Structure 1
Amino acid sequence: MSVTDDAPTRERVATSILEHGPSTAAALAEGLGLTAAAVRRHLEQLLADGVVRQREPRALAGRGRGRPAKVFMITDAGRDTFAHAYDDLAADALRFLRESGGDEAVAAFARRRMREFAGRYRSLVEQADPADRPGALAEALSADGYAASVGSTPAGEQICQHHCPVAHVAGEFPQLCEAETEMFAELLDTHVQRLATIAHGDGVCTTHLPAARPTQSTQSTNALHTERVSP
């Protein structure tokens, strides 16, 4: 099989790592329906090309018997191989805006940009059941190239964006990330907290959504039930 023939499958391997975060060769083989040997061959080429790098899994490093499985993650150069919505021209335009109007002008631009996104996302989010709205937002973000997913934690949920089309620009202009966080809070009608961003060197943009609290009516019903069953 030629290198050209291998390219689409190698791109699938890289895309899987981009979308799901650091992955072992075994997990990639299972998720993509490939043999372990095929995945290792593609990973070796991706390593040589600087698209991915490998490290010890944090949870397993130094523990147990035998050598822990390596995990593979996308490099900054690897992210550059995926399409970016903004280039040097966008950064130059924002620099000019900052010089002429200050940081508030950049923030105003970022908020207006997010209003356009919110206008497209709102109906998709509002049509979903409340519990499914983070997932609906993640799907909308993925359609715009953010490779987003939702995960659960004891404290609530997290929206994880494994790719950021504007990461290079947002690294210099954090107002873009701040406006996006405000949009999440507005669409989901809850307080959210940005925990990590690709623009600042993290592997994934992570936004925490607190666990839903019982409504007043639910609390009253529970209290009434408690009174009825109390001896």
Structure 2
Amino acid sequence: MKNARKAPQDPTAGQAAGTPAPAPRVTAAREEERGTRNRVVRSILDHGPSTAAELALRLQLTQAAVRRHLDTLVAEGVVEPREKRVYGARTRGRPAKAFALTDCGRDAFDQAYDKLAEDALRWIARCAGGGEQGEAAVAAFARARMAAQAEGYREALEAAAPDKRTEALAEALTADGYAATARSAPVGEQLCQHHCPVAHVAEQFPQLCEAETEVFSRLLGTHVQRLATIAHGDGVCTTFVPRSKPRRITKTTTASASTAGRNPA
């Protein structure tokens, strides 16, 4: 008697009721799709604005596949279509669209902004004579930068009640990318910045943190103390704001010799 053919095993057998079955093939397909899109983006970065036909030839893909990936990348804001430049006599028909990286698309690749900022500050220090004079020049730049930035926060703080100014400052900082929050603390409040866009540069130039602390003090109308900074290796930039009768918010355009808020050694 011939053996009966064994039925294929159900991959969901033994799973608890209500538990979705794993989908390794679906996951692998998505990873492959993502990898191909990354190749498309990298090709545009390396070769400049490209048409779907050029990308298909370069990546050994069909134009239909390339267009599908381009549609997704356009929807995500990574690339944008532009009219391809034509040199010489224009041929009949609608010109092909070339796809270029957006600023968002370029941000996905390594940038040298931190290195540029560090080089610029070192140049300022060197041109000022180095040593204490150089440090003072960097500090003056940091204060001027923060004073200009603070002007955008002033209106929000002046409109807030005195006991809501720290919260208003946190909201203004968050809008500038600092992911800031304000929370109650014994005899005061803590202003926490969970992200610092200039952390790598501030590591080399603590004057940036010092100028920021001085501006916080002026905006909040009270002496504040910097307890921790991301640039110093802490997880969060934390500033203590004591509970006291707030003074009138003052202008931030004048330089100050105060060292309040200097990073702890």
TM class by smaller structure: 0.5 to 0.7
Instruction: Tell me which residue corresponds to 1:93.
Output: 120
Aligned to 1:163, the other structure's residue is in SS state coil
**Per-residue deviation, 1:4:** 8.8
**Per-residue deviation, 1:154:** 1.3
Aligned to 1:199, the other structure's residue is in SS state coil
Aligned to 2:154, the other structure's residue is in SS state helix
Indicate the structure with greater helix content.
Answer: 1
**Per-residue deviation, 1:212:** 2.4
Seen in structure 2, the aligned counterparts of structure 1 residues 175 and 214 have a Cα distance that, compared at 3 Å, is closer
**Per-residue deviation, 1:84:** 8.9
Q: Does 1:147 align with 2:174?
A: no
How many percent of aligned residue pairs carry the same amino acid? Answer: 62
The Cα offsets for residues 49-68 of structure 1, whole Å up to 9 and x where unpaired, read as: xxxxxxxxxxxxxxxxxxxx
Contact 1:86–1:166, Cα closer than 8 Å, also in 2: no
The one-letter code matched in structure 2 to 1:165 is P
Aligned to 2:216, the other structure's residue is in SS state helix
Structure 1 consecutive aligned stretches of length 4 or more whose deviation exceeds 6 Å: none
Aligned to 1:149, the other structure's residue is in SS state strand
**Per-residue deviation, 1:3:** 4.8
- Superposition pairs of residues 192-231 of structure 1, within 5 angstroms: 192-212=224-244
| Aligned residue among 132, 137, 159 for 2:191 | 159
After TM superposition, the score normalised by the length of structure 2 is 0.49
After TM superposition, the score normalised by the length of structure 1 is 0.56
Q: Which consecutive residues of structure 1, in runs of 5 or more, have no partner in the other structure?
A: 7-79, 216-231
- Superposition pairs of residues 64-143 of structure 1, within 5 angstroms: 86-101=113-128, 102-143=134-175
Counterparts of 2:150 and 2:207, CA distance in 1: 16
- Superposition pairs of residues 23-62 of structure 1, within 5 angstroms: none
Size of the alignment, in residue pairs?
Answer: 142
**Per-residue deviation, 1:155:** 2.4
Counterparts of 1:200 and 1:122, CA distance in 2: 27
**Per-residue deviation, 1:197:** 0.3
The one-letter code matched in structure 2 to 1:98 is A
Contact 2:220–2:246, Cα closer than 8 Å, also in 1: no
The Cα offsets for residues 64-111 of structure 1, whole Å up to 9 and x where unpaired, read as: xxxxxxxxxxxxxxxx98x99942101100011111211110000000
Counterparts of 2:163 and 2:32, CA distance in 1: 44
Aligned to 1:89, the other structure's residue is in SS state helix
Instruction: Tell me which residue corresponds to 2:61.
Output: none
The one-letter code matched in structure 1 to 2:153 is Y
Counterparts of 1:85 and 1:162, CA distance in 2: 23
Contact 1:192–1:207, Cα closer than 8 Å, also in 2: yes
The Cα offsets for residues 144-166 of structure 1, whole Å up to 9 and x where unpaired, read as: 11000001111210000000000
The one-letter code matched in structure 2 to 1:166 is V
The Cα offsets for residues 21-67 of structure 1, whole Å up to 9 and x where unpaired, read as: xxxxxxxxxxxxxxxxxxxxxxxxxxxxxxxxxxxxxxxxxxxxxxx
Counterparts of 1:99 and 1:114, CA distance in 2: 22
Counterparts of 1:189 and 1:85, CA distance in 2: 37
Counterparts of 1:4 and 1:115, CA distance in 2: 48
Q: Which has the higher contact order (CA 8 A, sep 6+)?
A: 1
